Chain A
């Protein structure tokens, strides 16, 4: 880190507030010397990128959520969300989905009704909101990318789990599943763009709240804010 953890949180918070957004909660990793390696996530290997993003997002969302409800959602989601221990193509069973005809002109209502309540056990504030996830990283999972490049350059075969982990969407999806966040998933390369994207999603009604997670490695550091429309809106 080039700055203290608290300064890092303040920096992302400052950027969001300068864009007219209200910061509901904020977090960083590390925040204290106790924050060494972030807890591993089953199915994510080799690199700390995704665990780092997930730990910081969890810390932020927990602060935004009443403690009892937050504990409940974490436990339930952890049980309900299998880790991707096998690559998707190898395990992909086609599940014929229910076909729900929607009357002409009522598409929005029909889709909204079908989407609501799909994940029981959510914390009330997150269940009530449409929350988007924006991951900000200039270098992405650079440790994972260097590992793959090294294996390829030696003529080898990367592990199958590197397949989905090569993109920052993967951990955004992990966080979205765990917390039931059904808004857009967006990944951009700089904090300014991330805050602007979050503001745009809120302004145009795509999301009520946006979790913005900034994460970089070498060394590991991450910040997260949950933002909502500012007081003037």
Chain B
């Protein structure tokens, strides 16, 4: 693909190489692999239940979408990266040449290690350790930008591969529901007290946390072709923009998220009407869903009539730094299955969210192109555009 010139603010560009995804590994509340979480998303079957992993006594909310037991983040990351590399068909030498972009809150041990051990628990050290244990190259970096951490890592990996600076980057992300973030989200009154996530619905109360450990192999089409690897999806476009509006509230007119979408469309050389599905950020928060609705309407306008929108967080919850990568994996799998996820938990229309929501199943996909949207504190917005081959 040639560099595009229809950028939103003076012309976003990309390198000439086509970028594809050849391997995906997933752990979610529904178990290993993208299959179980996809099945739940297509059926609109949520995975929320009272948390048993740690004590939630005294919290306003007790629900999350957590896998049974108490999985350890580092171990699960290594295992799931292995699954993604296996699916991509990478041998040991190819893995050892691959950089790791890892989206995490940080080293989970950091806040509780003795002072003299603290220096060994930085996010960058954690990322390099995961890369080493997974057999990847030492060129690892950590992304810590909250909910957009993993989508930003995918965008950077896509940009690097498109520029032919690397043949391949492994992008991984992990968040496993734990007591500290649960406590601060609960204290911030961000969690839904009714135990359900109801994106874009009247009566929505907020978000619920969810487990996700996800890895994808981002690769140049030339390298994938040389290896005879099966292409799961094209990473056709990506965009990032800031709100410059508030520390933690979204910009009500959605202009920042709209610019991120416009940049992703420009890089993919697609018009909005060619996109059939948007996996929205749709956290279930009152202000966030309204702002995102404005952003989607801003970009799609009348083309929204042929669009389907849902938030798969309504099923798997909000996995913070890993959420965007889980949603990308579900979006890619839905396109391959030819069916679109249901926006679960829906009660009734909210005039502030005038979107063509997917409320029934099965809903067939109408286009090979889909956008996965993510927003985060700090007014950060990302859009990833994937195309099924």
Interface residues of A (CB under 8 A from B): 43, 81-84, 87-90, 92-105, 107-108, 110-112, 114-115, 118-119, 130, 132-133, 135, 137-140, 142, 145-146, 148-149, 151-153, 155, 157-160, 162-164, 166-174, 176-177, 179-190, 192-193, 197, 200-201, 203-206, 208, 218
Contact = CB atoms under 8 A, between A and B. Distances in A.
17 contacts: A83-B247, A95-B352, A103-B301, A107-B299, A115-B8, A130-B10, A133-B242, A142-B110, A169-B376, A172-B380, A173-B248, A182-B243, A185-B378, A187-B144, A190-B142, A200-B159, A204-B14
A182 B241 contact: yes
Contacts of B145: 135, 167-169, 172, 185-188
B260 to A, nearest CB: 8
Contact of A163 (B187, B242, B287): B187
A164 B320 CA distance: 12
Contact of A108 (B7, B240, B243): B7
A200 B258 contact: no
A90 B141 CA distance: 35
Interface of B: 6-15, 55, 57-59, 105-106, 110-112, 118, 121-127, 141-146, 148-149, 152, 156, 159-160, 163, 179-181, 183-190, 206, 239-249, 252-256, 258-259, 261-263, 265-266, 271-273, 285-291, 293-294, 297-303, 350-352, 354, 376-380, 382
A92 B242 contact: no
Given A152-B183, A163-B190, A190 B298 contact: no
Contacts of A92: 249, 285-288
A155 B55 contact: yes
B144 A140 contact: yes
B350 A94 contact: yes
Contacts of A197: 156
A166 B178 CA distance: 14
Given A96-B290, A130-B10, A164 B248 contact: yes
Contact of B242 (A87, A176, A218): A176
Contact of B189 (A90, A114, A130, A204): A90
B69 to A, nearest CB: 20
A209 to B, nearest CB: 12
B379 A97 contact: no
Given A93-B287, A157-B58, A88 B241 contact: no
Contacts of B181: 166
Given A93-B286, A95-B290, A158-B187, A112 B243 contact: no
B12 A176 contact: no
B262 A168 contact: no
A223 B55 CA distance: 40
Given A111-B298, A164-B188, A187-B149, A138 B122 contact: yes
Contacts of A153: 112
Contacts of A107: 8, 261-262, 265, 271-272, 299
Nearest to A164: B248
Contacts of A138: 122-125, 142
Contacts of B14: 204
A57 to B, nearest CB: 13
A158 to B, nearest CB: 5
A99 B354 contact: yes
A73 to B, nearest CB: 12
Given A104-B272, A173-B377, A186-B152, A181 B189 contact: no
B247 A43 contact: yes
A76 B122 CA distance: 37
Given A114-B258, A140-B123, A170-B377, 7 more contacts: A97-B297, A111-B261, A130-B10, A162-B188, A183-B242, A184-B240, A187-B146
